[in-house]
Amino acid sequence: MPNAGTRKSKARARTPLREAGLLAAAALLGPFLTRSVLIAERDTVFSALDLRGFFSDLVISLFFFTALALACRWTRWLALALLVFWAVLSYANYEHVMVLGSPASLSQAHYLVDPTFFRGSVLSPTHPLLLAGLLCGSLVLGWLGSRPRSTAMPLLPVGAAAILGLCVHLLWPPDAEALAWRQANVVYENLRWLIEPSARPARITQTVSDQIESLYRADLNGEPILELGRHDTNVLLVLLEAISGVHMDSIAERHGIASSIKLPRLDRIAQDNLAYRSFVSHQRQTNRGEYAILCGDYPKLVVDEPKMTEVLALDNVVCLPSVLRDAGYETVYLQAAPLGFMSKDLFMPKIGFSQVYGERWFKRAYARNQWGIDDRAYFEQSLEMVRRLGSAKKPWFLTLLTVGTHHPYIVPRSYGNRTFASAASYLDEAFAEFLGQLQAEGLLKNTLVMITSDESVGIAGYRGHKREGAGEGLDDLTKKLSENWGFLIVIPPTGEQMRVDAEFMQADLALSILDYLGLDSEAQDFVGRSVFRRYEGTRPIVFANVYKRWLGALDPSGHLSICPQDFQSCSTYELTDGRLFSPNRTRRETDLAAVEFLRGMVARSQQAKDRRRTLPLLAEPIVPLSATAGMQVIFGGQYLSVPAYTRIDVDLEVEVEGRSGSVSLGHLLKAGGKQYLFRRGIPPLEVGDRLTLRYSYTPSEPLQYLECLATASTRSDDPIALNFKTARMTLVPQPSGSDPTIGLVLHQFRVARSAP
């Protein structure tokens, strides 16, 4: 019979294994719990795809467990800090999948430092109880499993198991049609994206090249479907954040899909006017959709610097607002969100809007968060803008953009839960009231109204979608395609009513408005076809998803081709009913010509502009400072993609104005979040002092997410401000064959002190 000492010895021997089990449970809790909740909430039929996802979580968690165990050998607190990070990452991925249907990506991480995004989304979790449970559960398990005597944890077998599991994972092929989040852990996906091969330079035939160039020209050869050439007609363009064609029954029925989220008032407006039932959104993200609509151009089809940002550095930008402004229109842009996010405070005036207003313009709201105000308050006050423009003697072009259906959704507490469904229903009521009031006051008698969305949330963000007449859920490919399913409703002043089933796209709208107004002589700067014409033949339609990293094309023969961003595994389908967003399709042999076309379109949309690009860093030269605001961001958030051997010139000249006080000014030029290209201490500046800073940096490798950042803080009790005489960044491509100076060159760093 074993004595007491032997029993204690066995208990001590079992303790490391028990604690290793607790630590392993802590590592698994975040990925396993959030995946389980996602499967339940997104109405997903459990399959082998989800088993692969759980297996991927297990493999990555084993690697993380090894890191935890090593951290325990140093200090328990490091292990607990790692667990907090792991829980937050798991929850952040959960939110990203719920809203966007894809794993969180490092390529979008720069938005975390944007104040609007951070306060509006990061600090507003959809399910705070789930986040709290993850944090508490992880910390409790981690505390119990990270005692000092746990240093004998079986790291070698765990590490071996993780490596073996990774090998099995690599041999278990993913399903290209299925949603990525179902098949792999978020860490694995980001590692795969980091090491995925870049798409090879497109080698395309002259025939395909000619086809692509034809898409980059205006096509006004169709037969008009209503009276055109209506000079001096007002134009009201309304962009409803993230709304999809699937949300309106009269549009969704065209593609044989029924939605659990319905917008009956907007649907009635569609039935009573011109409704376009196969309208394509080119990309995800507002800055890509708005650019395509307002500038009549294709956005970039792969993850890269948005053209909305590129435009800021161009000297002559021809977009719809600039053409209308030159034709005598008053051009006004009014959105419910802050203008600084995505640099709209700079972009909108750049493309021709004479008046640009954001969230600060609105004096009241029924609900408000960092993203802006609710849709009912937005439309009620936008009505005042329409009245003001209507009383003027010149025609006007007004663009409106809502924000209530943007995560985390803005609805009054009395209306319902903060979900996309409730926000969409609230928007439906608010917009119908707005339109009804416009019509009642006679403000639309000579106004063309175009209603669309900046992007499409599709049918992946909520439950309850099914094939018409069937009870089974939609396949993943249909869900992916639906994120490019936009909508267009046109209310002409002449009152026509029509359903249009031909495919049109966001880039068509600028040309269409010019066609309607009889300004077709300005069409050479825009792409696409006019939605107010009927065309004999079809044309290729291209679209992409920056979050899911895939792109697609519908060719004139009705074949749909889908490719990942790296073009490693493309697929082609025949649409059995000829409807782009319908689930009725059959897979066929991959169309290599379509793949060649897509490669060419990617290259065409990414063509570098071989000229100097000057980027203003500030919209207004004078920046007031507050002594109570702490560190203030003066400018930043450009996030540019810069080719190798491009000289980056930064030119700053600023004077401190006020009665008394001093300013601590900070300045950085950085890339990729942490790669500091320029950082130098600046002495405190007194009132009257002037700083002049000029330098250049030329990289030998391409730079991603280049940011020119300035911050300031002051302790002055009197009003104090920074007056920027110059604040610009210029990108200068170096001529082929030149031998540029690589790295940093400081041209001038001078502080001119004020006279005592």
Q: What is the pLDDT of residues 136-158, one digit of tens each?
A: 988 888 888 776 554 445 666 67
Same fold, 206-505+538-605 and 613-752: no
User: Angle at Cα 314 formed by Cα 692 and Cα 455, nearest 5°?
Assistant: 115
> Per mean pLDDT, which range of 1-10, 28-37, 313-322 is the poorest?
1-10
Structural tokens at position 438 = 């416009």
Mean pLDDT over residues 154-183, rounded?
76
Domain 206-505+538-605 sits in CATH 3.30.360.10: no
Highest mean pLDDT among 381-390, 412-421, 544-553, 596-605: 381-390
- Is pLDDT of 606 > 80? no
Smallest CA-to-CA distance from 212 within 602, 497, 579, 531 is with 602
Distance CA 18, CA 12 (A): 10
- Is pLDDT of 416 > 80? no
pLDDT at residue number 573: 93
- Is pLDDT of 581 > 60? yes
Structural tokens at position 140 = 């409790």
Residue 609 binned pLDDT confidence (cut-offs 50, 70, 90): very low
pLDDT > 70: percent of the chain = 88
pLDDT at residue number 211: 84
Average pLDDT, the chain: 84
- Is pLDDT of 5 > 80? no
pLDDT at residue number 292: 94
* Residue 744: exposure state from Cβ atoms within 10 A (0-12, 13-18, ≥19): middle
Residue 407 binned pLDDT confidence (cut-offs 50, 70, 90): confident
Structural tokens at position 405 = 């259906």
pLDDT at residue number 440: 93
**DSSP for 608-660?**
---S-EEEES-SSSEEEE-TTS-SEEEE----EEE-TTEEEEEEEEEEEEESS
pLDDT at residue number 472: 42
pLDDT 10s digits, 41-51: 776 667 777 88
Residue 99 binned pLDDT confidence (cut-offs 50, 70, 90): confident
pLDDT at residue number 715: 76
Task: Please confirm whether the linkage preceding 408 is cis (ω < 30° from 0).
Answer: yes
Mean pLDDT over residues 522-543, rounded?
91
Are 52 and 172 within 8 A, CB to CB? Answer: yes
User: Between the CA of residue 230 and those of 176, 234, 326, 524, what are the distances in Å?
Assistant: 48, 10, 17, 20
pLDDT at residue number 562: 92
Distance CA 484, CA 507 (A): 13
Mean pLDDT over residues 54-65, rounded?
85
> Per mean pLDDT, which range of 195-199, 284-288, 347-351 is the poorest?
195-199
Where residue 546 falls (left for φ over 0; alpha for ψ -120 to 50; beta otherwise) is alpha
The SS3 assignment for 135 reads helix
pLDDT at residue number 151: 46
Residue 203 half-sphere exposure toward CB, CA atoms < 13 A? 1
Strand locations in 463-591 (E)? 466-467, 488-491, 498-500, 504-505, 528-529, 533-534, 541-545, 550-554, 559-564, 571-575, 585-588
* CA dihedral sign of residues 249, 251, 253, 259: negative
Q: Which amino acid is at 196?
A: E
Residue spans of alpha helices (H) in 101-205 = 115-117, 128-144, 155-171, 180-183, 186-195
- Is pLDDT of 342 > 90? no
- Is pLDDT of 365 > 60? yes
For 613-752, give the CATH class: mainly beta
- Separation of first and last alpha carbons in the chain: 94
Return the higher-pLDDT residue of 723 and 180.
723
pLDDT 10s digits, 554-578: 999 889 999 988 888 899 999 988 8
Distance CA 375, CA 113 (A): 26
User: Which residues in 337-366 are b (16+ Cβ under 10 Å) and which e?
Assistant: bbbbbbbbbbbbbbbbbbbbbbbebbeebb
- Is pLDDT of 705 > 70? yes
The domain spans of the chain are: 4-195, 206-505+538-605, 613-752
Structural tokens at position 567 = 């073009």
- Is pLDDT of 438 > 60? yes
- Is pLDDT of 333 > 90? yes
pLDDT 10s digits, 193-209: 777 655 555 567 777 87
Mean pLDDT over residues 352-361, rounded?
93
Residue 244 binned pLDDT confidence (cut-offs 50, 70, 90): very high
